[in-house]
Structure 1
Amino acid sequence: MRILFFSRDYTPHDHRILSSLAKTGHRVYYLRLEESEYVFEDRLLPQEIEVVQWNNSRRSARWVDGPGMLVELKSIAKKINPDLVQAGPLQRSALLAALAGLRPLISMSWGYDLLQDAGRNAIWRQATRFVLSHSDLMIGDCETIRRLAISYGMPDKRIVTFPWGIDLDHFSPRVNSTTASAADNRVREGTFTLLSTRSWEPIYGVDTIVQAYIQVSQTQPGIRLVMLGNGSLATDLKQRFFDVGLFPSAANLDSAKDARVIFPGQVGFSNLPESYRSSDLYISASHSDGTSISLLEALACGLPVLVSDIPGNREWVVPGVNGWLFTDGNPSALASAILEAFNDRNRLIEMGENARKSVEGRADWKANFQKLLQAYELVVNEN
């Protein structure tokens, strides 16, 4: 089977899917709509994946670029002659594929395309309906996305829902006897580490985390915050921490070892599990998520979670069992929940065990990938 995989950029999600497809024997072509200035994924693609290049690469695709890209996409598809096209997000890559008349078309929702983009205005709503009406199948990662797709006209029977999932062997609790003792030591010493792994972008509510941590630090100096990654809000976030004495200035980096807020930068896939294992509580203030992969990674590593109370998170988090929920966009609610978790930290080991159990049955990428292949077979056989 010849597959054209048309995505917005190159992210860990793209790498996960393409790496699995590379092992199937199918001939897979990868087309990337944009090349962001930020590196979302540093692992190379398998050599079996054939990368397709535009005549002119672009940092971001604008609406004004659409006509030219549409002509070029038709030319690319004519040369490849794919048996099916998988494209997403809906109003970007999938929209171009639909406008180009590429069929059979499997549209993949990336969560934010239905949770946020579809409701921007009438143009975005119409684009969403157009894509879904020209898709042979849509893939979504949670019940929330399925319901939204139906509301935009996609027949329920044409929707395949499964969590994208993670590598449960790679993301796992530390396999030795020191895990519990290390956690016990942190409890006795009063140290406590919060971990944030989301990109520093407005949609992920990192400003909420900043405000909440500033409140927390005033009463509990033993609580540290580790923020992985980077993003467009980097300068603003660091300045706000510096203004209240929680982060050293660029001219005084020697004091970084004393900082209560740590910025390790982008952590590679191989080292990411250790970041989870070395922390006491995972936090995310995202305003929009389907099934958050970083949430699944944290749970799989046996790390209790504290996340915004939005539909996608409620499908995974049971308050008091494997984590906590807080009111979306409310820094004071997040601060209170952090302090609650800190004061109740004797329960974290048990909650961490529950966290791991909560993903073992539903978030195994090896098993869930088979559902993607089944979707491919269904669409190709029908066409």
Structure 2
Amino acid sequence: MKILYFSRDYTTHDHRFLSALTKAGEKVYYITLERRGHVLEDRALPGEVEIVSWAGGKKPARLVDGPMLLLDLKHLLRKIRPDILHAGPLQTVGFLSALSGFQPFVSMSWGYDLLIDAERSASWRWSTRYTLNHSAAMVGDCETIRQRAASYGMAPERIVTFPWGVDLEKYHPGNRQDAGDKHFTLLSTRSWEPVYGVDVLVRGFLQAAQSCPKLHLVLLGNGSQAPLLRKMIAEGGAAEKVTFAGQISQKDLPRYYRSADLYVSASHSDGTSISLLEAMACGTPVLVSDIPGNKEWVTPGVEGWLFPDGDSRALAGAIISAFERREQLVQMSEAARNLAERRADWEKNFPELLRAYDIARSHIRNR
């Protein structure tokens, strides 16, 4: 089967999907909409993937470029004649694909497109509905996304829901590294952008650290809030309690999960968070905001805890409570790993994408 895989930019998630598709024996052609300023994935594309040169993928995308990009996309589709056009996020890459008129077209939600972007304005809502109404099938990663897609007119029987999952051989429990009993280590892996609430996390940490001197926070990543976060930590007198570890390679990431006592995320919006699944696969108990996507995974007191979204005071209390109950973390670690094995195994979940392709092809044949 020939697949034209179209994404906004090359990310860690794209690497996994492209690798799995080629491993499954599919012929994959790949294009991106744009190239943004920072590297989102440091691994090379799988060797079997054919990168296609076209009008996009060289610079940040602009609305004014839309007609030119659509014209060239139609040209590519006539040239390649794929069996499936796979595209997402919905309002950018997906919308352009829907406008092309090509079928079978499988749209893939990236979570934020339905949870945030779809509500930006009437035009964003319209493009969301248009894309879904022209999708032969749609892929989403959780029940929250399924319900949101259906509310925009996507036929429920053509929505395929599966957690993107993680590589359980790579992300697995191990002895805590470089830890000992000196610190109680909290780990954040989210980008430093407003939607991920890292500022809320830092506020909660600073409050908790005032009464719990053993706390230590490891912040991975970077982003537009870097100056704000560094200022908050400096003014809070906690510079020695925070490690800014920067952007970490995928190879090194599991080591950080295993070194942490608790994974913390204050994200304001997520479908199924991959970093949450990575933490649980490594047996790291979690403390996350009580948004719908997280509540599909975390049972309070079992794999970890939830706290009210945006409430730094509640987060501080939850951090202190986790520290005081740290003898429970061994059982939580086992529960987190067990849940990951049951529901977050990438090898078991990936074939659902191929099922979505089959649904799309069948729908187009039979309409």
Q: Same fold (TM over 0.5)?
A: yes
> How many Å separate the matches in 1 of 2:255 and 2:322?
21
> How many Å separate the matches in 2 of 1:335 and 1:61?
40
Alpha-carbon contact 1:38-1:231 (below 8 Å) kept: no
- Counterpart in 2 of 1:60? 60
Q: Pick one of 348, 361, 371 that aligns with 2:352.
A: 371
State how 1:39-188 maps to structure 2 within 5 Å.
39-55=39-55, 57-174=57-174, 178=175, 185-186=180-181
Q: CA deviation at 1:30?
A: 0.9
Counterpart amino acid of residue 323 in structure 1: G
SS at match of 2:172: coil
Alpha-carbon contact 2:106-2:139 (below 8 Å) kept: yes
> How many Å separate the matches in 1 of 2:227 and 2:165?
32
Q: CA deviation at 1:24?
A: 2.1
Alpha-carbon contact 2:7-2:31 (below 8 Å) kept: yes
Alpha-carbon contact 1:300-1:360 (below 8 Å) kept: yes
Alpha-carbon contact 2:136-2:361 (below 8 Å) kept: no
TM-score (normalised: structure 1) = 0.92
Q: CA deviation at 1:377?
A: 2.6
Counterpart amino acid of residue 203 in structure 1: V
SS at match of 1:113: helix
- Counterpart in 1 of 2:342? 361
Q: CA-to-partner distance for each residue in 1:173-228, whole Å, 9 max, x for gaps? A: 01xxx55x998x52xx4x20000001111110111012111212222221010010
Counterpart amino acid of residue 282 in structure 1: Y
CA RMSD, 1 decimal:
1.5
SS at match of 1:22: helix
Q: CA deviation at 1:66?
A: 1.3
Q: CA deviation at 1:245?
A: 2.7
Distance 1:59 1:283, change over 3 A: farther
SS at match of 2:41: coil
> How many Å separate the matches in 2 of 1:75 and 1:245?
58
> 2:192 matched to 1:200?
yes
Distance 1:79 1:57, change over 3 A: same
TM-score (normalised: structure 2) = 0.96
Q: Aligned pairs, how many?
A: 364
Counterpart amino acid of residue 231 in structure 1: G
Alpha-carbon contact 2:158-2:360 (below 8 Å) kept: no
> How many Å separate the matches in 2 of 1:347 and 1:142?
28
> How many Å separate the matches in 2 of 1:165 and 1:159?
18
> How many Å separate the matches in 2 of 1:182 and 1:30?
40
Counterpart amino acid of residue 225 in structure 2: L
- Counterpart in 2 of 1:309? 290
Q: Pick one of 227, 239, 247 that aligns with 1:235.
A: 227
> How many Å separate the matches in 2 of 1:6 and 1:56?
11
> How many Å separate the matches in 2 of 1:200 and 1:2?
37
> How many Å separate the matches in 2 of 1:102 and 1:288?
31
> How many Å separate the matches in 2 of 1:55 and 1:160?
31
Q: CA deviation at 1:231?
A: 1.1
Alpha-carbon contact 2:5-2:31 (below 8 Å) kept: yes
Q: CA-to-partner distance for each residue in 1:239-287, whole Å, 9 max, x for gaps? A: 221223323xxxxxxxxxxx21111111111111110000000000111
Q: Which structure 2 residue ranges, 5 or more long, are not aligned?
A: none
> 2:202 matched to 1:210?
yes
- Counterpart in 2 of 1:9? 9
Q: Which structure 1 residue ranges, 5 or more long, are not aligned?
A: 248-258
SS at match of 2:300: coil
> How many Å separate the matches in 2 of 1:331 and 1:229?
21
Counterpart amino acid of residue 168 in structure 1: L
Identity value in percent: 57
> How many Å separate the matches in 2 of 1:296 and 1:161?
16
- Counterpart in 2 of 1:225? 217
> How many Å separate the matches in 2 of 1:305 and 1:265?
21
> How many Å separate the matches in 1 of 2:123 and 2:65?
17
State how 1:260-299 maps to structure 2 within 5 Å.
260-299=241-280
Alpha-carbon contact 2:187-2:217 (below 8 Å) kept: yes
Q: CA deviation at 1:56?
A: 5.5
SS at match of 1:221: coil
Counterpart amino acid of residue 310 in structure 1: I
Alpha-carbon contact 1:198-1:204 (below 8 Å) kept: yes
Q: CA deviation at 1:127?
A: 0.6
